[in-house]
Amino acid sequence: MGQPVGDEPRDDAELVEALRGGDERAFADLVDELGPALRRLALAHVPSEAVADEVVQDTWLGVIRGIDGFEGRSALRTWIFRILLNNARTRGKRERRTLPFSFFRRDDPEGRGGPTVDADRFQGRRGDQPGAWARPPVEWSSPEERLAGDAARRVMLEAIAELPARQREVLTLRDIQGYSAAEARNALELTETNQRVLLHRARAKVRAALERHFDDEGGAGR
Amino acid sequence: MSPQAQAQLTCKEFVELVTDLIEDQLDAALRLAAEAHLGDCDGCEAYLEQIRQTVAALRGLADSGDFTRDRERALAAFRELRADAHGNGNGAGRSE
Ligand SMILES: [Zn+2]
């Protein structure tokens, strides 16, 4: 909880002073701490590793150039994530226009509203037990093995690409990168509740995609 | 999200609580209701388990490729734009 990884996080004021003073060691620590998460968040918006690399590099350039003007109104790390997200969202929009297929096509960035599981999975008002499963999920057989496979991996990546942008950001930091709720909330400037709602919806959609995949594959036994 | 905690949860209500349940954000009454429902419903038990399995599988996507090049480029830019500009200052941490 609290600070993202890194053994002894300095407080912001000290770190900002070090960066302004050209302390390369302090900068390297920051790059090591945030680099993987920044790269992964960039990949949540742009379609290739090469573009993600550029977005991350532009972010560090923004930090290096902007640190003198950083006023500390937000936490240093929140500021860095904000620079990255602005870059990544802008780049993502531009790249999307040039893509032949529907990569990241949602317009509604939060995608709130509506149930997370298809309503037709449950009994309607006239059923014996309204709101109970009509078609319950069936335990996945040998889930560890199948979930680790290439096919499942592809299904997850496709499902993530289909998520509304904010859901994709939260899922990326929380579940792929392993950030705590507090870390993700600070990085993405979300309220605790909003963070959780977005995560909830995103996870449900990835699960549903896996379920469809396993159904098609057959072999979901009990 | 406001199923009355007193009443029994339906499956449709339960699935909307799984994240709050996993994140330990349910108030005591709702948590009890959710646990009571779980104990009595194979479908919701499977659903919750699949959400957990999904979360674990997502963590397996964490290999974000090669980070060393990003790192080298960032450090090079820092050296060029900052360390040199302040190079003879107080000797703060030039590590190479
Ligand atoms: Zn149920």
- Please check whether residue A156 touches B, CB under 8 A: yes
Q: What angle do CA B5, B9, B12 make, to 5 degrees?
A: 130
Q: Do A210 and B81 touch (CB under 8 A)?
A: no
Beta-bridge partners for A133: A122
Mean pLDDT of A40-51: 91
Q: Note the pLDDT tens digit of each residue in B42-75.
A: 999 999 999 999 999 999 998 756 778 889 999 9
Yes or no: say if A152 and A210 are a contact pair by the CB < 8 Å rule. yes
How many whole angstroms from A121 Cα to the centroid of ligand 1? 11
- Phi-psi category of residue A47: left, alpha or beta, with phi > 0 → left and psi -120 to 50 → alpha: alpha
Fold of A5-94: Rna Polymerase Sigma Factor; Chain: A (1.10.1740)
Q: How confident is the model at residue A90, as a pLDDT?
A: 93
Residue ranges per structural domain of chain B: 3-85
| Ion ligand 1: residues, CB < 5 A | B 11, 41, 44
Q: Are A5-94 and A119-221 equal in CATH topology?
A: no
Residue ranges per structural domain of chain A: 5-94, 119-221
Closest partner residue to B10 (CB to CB) among A22, A132, A199 is A132
> Has domain A119-221 been given CATH number 1.10.10.10?
yes
What residue type is A112 in one-letter code? R
Report whether pLDDT(A135) > 60: yes
Q: Note the pLDDT tens digit of each residue in A55-100.
A: 999 999 999 999 999 999 999 999 999 999 999 999 988 876 655 4
What percent of chain B is predicted at pLDDT more than 70? 76
Report whether pLDDT(B10) > 50: yes
- Please check whether residue A157 touches B, CB under 8 A: yes
Say which residues have a Cβ less than 8 Å from residue A82's Cβ, sequence separation at least 6: A74, A189
**CB pairs A-B closer than 8 Å:** 177
Mean pLDDT of A150-172: 95
Mean pLDDT of A169-192: 96
Q: How confident is the model at residue A108, as a pLDDT?
A: 64
